[in-house]
Amino acid sequence: MSKNTGHKISKKFAAYPRLNPLGVGKDISAADLIDQVMLAYNGGRLREASQLLAKKMLPKDGFIGMSLTGALTPAGL
């Protein structure tokens, strides 16, 4: 890629604000992690699903337990 093309791309995206995700520290709760950090792509869908489950499907004193795995399950690990 030539320098000119790279410069053109950076100018194109310069009009948009930079995304600075919040830091994830040891003091953040699971609920805050889902609500504040998982905003896009699969994390966003996970946030929407957890909010829907909590608001519409559970009783007020219900409890949500969740386990997440990545690509380890299809790999048989």
- The residue extents of the domains of the chain are 21-59
Give backbone dihedrals phi and psi of 15, rounded to 5 degrees, phi first. Answer: -75, -15
CB atoms closer than 10 angstroms to residue 1:
6
pTM exceeds cut of 0.75: no
Residue 17 has pLDDT above 70, yes or no: yes
User: What is the CB-side half-sphere exposure of residue 70 using CA atoms within 13 A?
Assistant: 1
Instruction: Express each pLDDT in 25-60 by its tens digit.
Output: 888 887 888 787 777 788 888 888 888 888 888 888
Q: CB-based contacts of 74: which residues, under 8 Å, 6+ apart?
A: none
Query: How many secondary structure helices (H) and strands (E) does the chain include?
Result: 3, 0
